[in-house]
Amino acid sequence: MRLVHAVTAAAGAFWLNVGYTPLHQSGKAVPLPYLLWNLTDFYLIQEVVWNYGAGVAGRRFLSPRNEKFLWFVKNADDYVFNLDAIRDPDVKYPRQYKNGRLKVNPLGKNPTDVWQFAKVTSGYQRSSAERTPHPAQFPEALIERVVLASSEKNAVLLDPFSGSGTTAVVAAKTGRRSIGIEISGEYCDLAVSRYLAKKESLSGLLLQ
């Protein structure tokens, strides 16, 4: 986190997603963000909860259905936040007026700090279209919201645990550049081929 802070742009952000850990004597599944939140020079804006819909069933505890993101920024007074780029168009009463003025933003509502995106699934007849062999792949739509909210076009995204390369794919889709770091050569190859395939499909779209 110290190194990420050092290379983050002045108005840049740091989105941290880590899971849960058992802590002997004191907790079965302690959210790691709760242990890490103040061990960085970044300023914490908010916790965002990702509700992913389906997963394992608990027997002596509630079935887990969320992961947490901590949204940090480098400068609490000056940071990129493109709310209009991530508004939720699913508004219940879009045509409500007050004193002759439309009450609801025509682009949609603030998506709140609880985000619902389906997990990338595998398995016969239920595998997501974007599924790769990586076991912990993020849905593109989830990372797209992070990227659109916290960066401008042509910004450089750094993902130091890039896995299957979801951040790079989203960078290609949204007009950002990206740097990925990954310890496994196999996943590096996977990320590169996934990125190139996305670039090719996007250039096909542009040509049409």
Ligand X SMILES: C[S@@+](CC[C@H](N)C(=O)[O-])C[C@H]1O[C@@H](n2cnc3c(N)ncnc32)[C@H](O)[C@@H]1O
Q: Is 164 in the site for ligand X (CB under 6 A)?
A: yes
DSSP 8-state symbol, 147: H
184: contact with ligand X by CB under 6 A:
yes
Separation between Cα atoms, residue 29 and residue 145, nearest integer Å: 27
Phi, then psi, of 104 in degrees rounded to 5? -100, 140
Q: Which is nearer to ligand X, 29 or 107 (CB)?
A: 29
Considering only 79, 163, 171, 195, the residue that binds ligand X (CB under 6 A) is 163
With CB under 6 A as the contact rule, which of the stretches 31-39, 94-102, 134-142, 196-204 interacts with ligand X? 134-142
> Nearest approach, Cβ of 131 to ligand X (angstroms)?
11
21 binds ligand X (CB under 6 A): no
- CA–CA gap between residue 46 and residue 27 (Å, rounded): 23
Q: What is the C-alpha to C-alpha distance for residues 47 and 202, in angstroms, rounded to an integer?
A: 33
Of positions 36, 51, 161, 197, contacts ligand X by CB under 6 A: 161
Instruction: Tell the burial category of 158 from Cβ atoms under 10 Å away from its Cβ (0-12, 13-18, 19+).
Output: middle
* Binding residues vs ligand X (CB under 6 A): 134, 136-138, 161, 163-164, 166, 181-184, 187
